[in-house]
Structure 1
Amino acid sequence: KKLFGKSSEKRDDFEGQLYLFNEAESLMTEPDLEEQEFTTVEKHTRKKKPKMTDKFANLPVQKVLLDVPEDERICDICGTPLERIGEEFVRREIELIKPSLKIIEYYSVSYGCPKCKEDAEVPHIVKGRDDQKHMLHGMASAGTVAWVMYQKYVNCLPLYRQEKDFKMYGAEICRGTIANWIINNAEDFFRPMHEYFQRKLVSGKYIMADETPVQVLKEPGRRAETKSYMWVFRSGEYDPEQIVLFHYSPTRAGQTAKEFLEGFHGYLMTDGYGGYNKLKDCTRTSCWAHVRRYLIDAIPKGKEYDHTQPAVQGLAYVDKLFDMERKIHEKKSLDFDAIKEYRLKKEKPVLEGFWKWLDCQTAIKNSRLYKALVYIQNRRQFLETYLEDGGCSFNNNTSERSCKAFVTGRKNWLFSDSTKGADASALTYSMVETAKACGVDVYYYLKYLLIKCPSSQMSDEELEKLSPWNPECKEALDELFRKHQDAIFDAM
């Protein structure tokens, strides 16, 4: 099934599925929804499509006049010269401006006192200063470094292909140089932000975690093919200040998570990996999406809608819970207390029914159904924890989506050459995914950090102003965007 079956987990409801649940529970009233604008379509509703002008609202517009040749501006009737009376819109096209490189040379302007230059022993001279610290790591500007980072960590473009692109732009820049730009700048300017984000994350109430393999070729004392891991720790999906942190480690040992999250006393959402059991000071919550996958895998082929099958019955309960959680996501105005009340009233009865179903099940040892039942039973306590607090997530899909960005990139660049490269990737992915989660432009955020040059000497108040959720930071990113658009327009 994993090789040739469909990968989507979506399923259609089958007749009689709802009768597995308490009828009174299904008739309960729900909190009012925040209505979106909808267009009515036969048999279903569909969100209104954005207008063409809305899709391209952020692009500069160049107006081209299709003028009449001068020798044709004569009246065919009387021969009088024609006068311009107006213009009308004909068409619109999108023009891609190919990236280009240029060299910017900075000269320090000197000023000296004309009166003292002959009389004084040491003439008084002042010179213009260059405060851009990132220039210590080569010729690349903040925008250039941000661009190569964006290409690798957002567009998943390996450095050897970026090397070819630079050659096409007219510059011979080898991939080793590009790698040094990324590694040195990430270590110097992203590390302080990463450490600040880590302090904020650990001091919060909700964290979601996941991990995925990565190959690092030159790890001291280890073979090149040895598997290492990239860990992901992120804030709860409902937190207003979204933080996504990547952390490279040579192993998957639970000690890594324990050390990274030292001092955390809130709710930790994870999958079923036992390494997280080392964290004793927090409250564990387990992922219902993993429960669902185990049950789907336990359904015999061709029996997907046969509700006499135990796995199908269990899946019906879980799908009902997912439907209810989907409604919570639609009610964007609900606070955590309202979410908790909703879950206790509507989801807890379904959950109790699911546990009764689970207690009645038996299966052949080592069968897929047996593995599913054991998996659920071993995590029963953690699967109920989300009912305690409305800020808890129901599943770990949010952190898995954050992890997916790294996995997609890994398929293209395959491995990290060194531990420094793996660390730099973790730092840069952290800035990239945090910017994405906060809804700001990734490229401009990377460029902004490289211009501002965060350092370990900065206070938390100063680093807070450089965080992507901060209004001051967002205003600065908008200004960078406007300057870029103006430059494009001037070049037209």
Structure 2
Amino acid sequence: MLNDGTGFKKVYIATGFTDLRRGIDGLARTIRFQFHLDPYDKHTLFLFCGRRTDRIKGLLWEGGGFLLLYKRIENGNFRWPRTKGEALEITADQYQMLMQGLEIIAKAVKYTEEQLNTVDKSFLIHLLLQQEQLEALTKELHASNEKMQLLMEQVILGKQNRFGRSSEKMEDTGQIRFREVDGSIVFFNEAEAVSDLSVSEPEDLELRSPRQPKRKGKKEADLSGLPIRRIDHYLSETELEEEFGEKGWKQLPDAISRKYRFVPAKVEVEEHHIGVYASKTDEHMVKADHPKSLLHGSLVSPSLAVAIINGKYVNAVPLYRLEQEFQRYGLQITRQHMANWCIRLGEEYLSVLYDHLHEELYSCHVIQADETPVLVNHDGRKAGSKSWMWVYRSGHLYHNRQIVLYEYQQTRNASHPREFLKGYDGICVTDGYQVCHTLEKEIQAIYREEGKLNALSSDERLKQRQAVIKPLVDAFFAYLKNIKVSRKDKFGDAVGYALNQEKYLRVFLTDEDVPIDNNASERAIRAFVSGRKTGR
């Protein structure tokens, strides 16, 4: 099908790198949530390529199910576009060129010396002069940008010294700080920073009693100081007779599977004894049912994974401190192993939950959003470049349906929330401008009345807002329109902002599910920045 190009009418290629370990569900989620296309579009083929460009995968919906296609070139590579990941529709001719290992995106033409000799010399001189002028203008623009950045820094510092709190002059309280670990500044992206895929899984359990240090060079830990919880998985007599016939089986040595198991204040080994049985008449063998490994080839158990994720991402404990804590329990695992586990668990399990919650979020009539700055090193940009963590959550008035999702982006561009909420048909509540907090004293009465309505039903809340809160809001905007303020201070900016956004600030009066403010998303983002002090 891939060779002859039959069975489909349109072809999209996922430019950039794609993890080809993903199956049908993973590729379908990529098509839907990353490229915002319909994976169920009949007669549309989606192609993916990994870092090894000698093989590709294809996904095609045939009406009753997906068809997963695979193609590999024995000699040579696919000329795959490596631009930023996007879904690029290609023509039939481009598809055939791609299958033959040819470039599908035209490159700049390179002329030979003989061809250049045929070009008019005055035209070449004109091009050379234009290039020199362009280089000169580029240098001037670069110098102007540097001067502008210096002036902007002076303006920001001047505003901070004039309007900011004295205790915060030397620190941006909204900025996340990171701790230096082994020469790298890490906190938010600590798992990626300390992850080392070249570090293999420990060959066996490396546990020891805190009072009996492990001897150097010893590969297998001494388990005598730790309790072992044995869990048997055997077949009953009835099951064995159904499998092998009466007296037609014999007991072989158990297959033993050991996993790290985390128990508060102690660590024990979870040892699974799995019954293995063989026929006396032939080579037929069976094993008793037993739990599958959380991560293939890894010793991590669900309880240990929960302890690591809870400590790192909920309690904001850096991995190096978790490593020290586990060492006190006698468990020898490095932060590199924990980082690798966190990343794999996120890719194999939590990404599925994230995509499901993302889809569920679209069913909420009201969504709240916020963002906070974050410093991330080693992302291809200059060290110390500012990035942003965005949070999207269901409206906080949906008490029985709370969804909170985080998304990392390198910029604060408005295109990010538009892309994340592409196709959403509802209300998104966000902060238009932080100076609105300057008017808190003027709106205390409105907040007091709104606070009394939290426990009411949606219909009753809307009635009370119209009867009690709307007159207060009307009086508030009448007050703003009559006062005279200077546009040079924060209060003036706040008044101007409130008047310009009056239409949107009044929405909560006509929609019972819209909150009065965006504090819920700010609380959600605060959970992310709560580890700032521990990361210093």
Aligning the two structures, in what range does the TM-score lie when normalised by the shorter sequence?
0.5 to 0.7
* CA deviation map 1:166-220 (0-9, x unaligned): 111112211111111111101210101110101010122010000112222221x
Aligned residue in 2 for 1:223: 382
The one-letter amino acid paired with 1:124 is H
Rounded Cα–Cα distance in structure 2 between residues aligned with 1:358 and 1:347:
17
Give the match's secondary structure for 1:355.
helix
* Distance across 2 between alignment mates of 1:113 and 1:177: 41
Q: Counterparts of 1:21-36 in structure 2 under 5 Å?
A: none
Equivalent positions of 1:136-151 (< 5 A) are 136=296, 138-151=298-311
Q: Greater share of strand residues, 1 or 2?
A: 2
**CA displacement 1:351-376 (0-9 Å, x = unmatched):** 11111111112222312321121221
- Name the SS of the counterpart of 2:531 in structure 1: helix
1:328 equivalenced with 2:453 (yes/no): yes
Q: Which residue is 1:295 aligned to?
A: 439
SS in 2 for 1:209: strand
CA distance in 1, matches of 2:487, 2:374: 34
Q: Give the structure, 1 or 2, with the largest relative contact order (CA under 8 Å, sep 6 or more).
A: 1
Gaps of 5+ in 2: 1-162, 169-262
CA-CA distance at 1:292 after TM superposition: 5.7
Question: Aligned pair in 2 of structure 1 residues 328, 5: CA closer, same or farther (>3 Å)?
Answer: farther
Separation in 2 of the partners of 1:133 and 1:267?
43
Residue type at the aligned position of 2:302? A
Identity %: 32
More helix by share: 1
**Counterparts of 1:185 and 1:258 in 2: how far apart (Å)?**
28
Give the Cα–Cα distance (whole angstroms) in 1 for the partners of residues 313 and 297 of structure 2: 20
Q: Distance in 2 between matches of 1:410 and 1:169?
A: 27
Name the residue aligned to 2:427. 267
Say whether residues 1:398 and 2:520 are aligned partners: yes
For 1:103, what is the secondary structure of its paired residue? strand
Match of 1:205 in 2: 365
In the alignment, does 2:465 pair up with 1:343?
Answer: yes
CA contact under 8 A between 1:201 and 1:243: conserved in structure 2? Answer: yes
Structure 2 residue matching 1:210: 3-state secondary structure = strand
> Against the structure 1 CA distance between its residues 234 and 98, is the aligned structure 2 distance closer, same or farther, given a 3 Å change threshold?
closer
Match of 1:383 in 2: 505
Q: Is the 8 A contact 1:202 1:262 kept in 2?
A: no
- Please say if residues 388 and 409 of structure 2, whose CA atoms lie closer than 8 Å, have aligned partners that are also in contact: yes
**Aligned-pair CA distance for 1:130:** 4.3
Contact kept? 2:395, 2:514, Cα under 8 Å? yes
Q: Which residue of 2 aligns with 1:91?
A: none
Question: Aligned pair count?
Answer: 279
SS in structure 2 opposite 1:217? coil
**Aligned counterparts of 1:241 and 1:266: Cα–Cα separation in 2:** 16
Q: Distance between the aligned counterparts of 1:137 and 1:402, measured in 2?
A: 35
CA radius of gyration, larger in: 2
Q: Root-mean-square deviation (CA), in Å?
A: 2.1
Deviations 1:416-438 (A, max 9, x none): xxxxxxxxxxxxxxxxxxxxxxx
Asked whether the 8 Å contact 2:435–2:493 carries over to 1, the reply is no
**Partner in structure 2 of residue 427 of structure 1:** none
Q: Is the 8 A contact 2:369 2:429 kept in 1?
A: yes
Residue 292 of structure 2 is aligned to residue 132 of structure 1: yes
- State whether residues 236 and 391 of structure 1, in contact with CA within 8 Å, keep that contact through their aligned partners in structure 2: yes
Seen in structure 2, the aligned counterparts of structure 1 residues 337 and 137 have a Cα distance that, compared at 3 Å, is farther
Given that 1:209 and 1:270 are in contact with CA atoms closer than 8 Å, whether structure 2 keeps it comes out as yes
- Confirm whether residue 242 of structure 1 aligns to residue 391 of structure 2: no
SS at match of 1:409: coil
Query: What's the CA shift for 1:133?
Result: 4.0
Match of 1:3 in 2: 165
Q: Does structure 2 conserve the Cα–Cα contact (< 8 Å) formed by 1:137 and 1:185?
A: no
Question: Which letter maps to 1:151?
Answer: G
Q: CA deviation at 1:411?
A: 3.8
Aligned-pair distance for 1:403? Answer: 0.8
- 1:152–1:409 CA contact under 8 A, matched in 2: no
The C-alpha deviation readout for 1:50-78, integer Å capped at 9, x for no partner, is xxxxxxxxxxxxxxxxxxxxxxxxxxxxx
CA contact (8 A) 1:209 1:231 kept: yes
TM-score, normalised on structure 2?
0.50
Give, in angstroms, the shift of residue 98 of structure 1.
Answer: 5.7
Q: CA deviation at 1:111?
A: 1.0
Q: Which residue of 2 aligns with 1:103?
A: 269
Structure 1 residue 230, shift from structure 2 partner: 1.0
Q: Distance in 2 between matches of 1:409 and 1:188?
A: 26
Cα distance change, pair 145–98 in 1 and its aligned pair in 2 (3 A): closer
Q: Is the Cα–Cα contact under 8 Å of residues 204 and 264 in structure 1 kept in the other structure? A: no
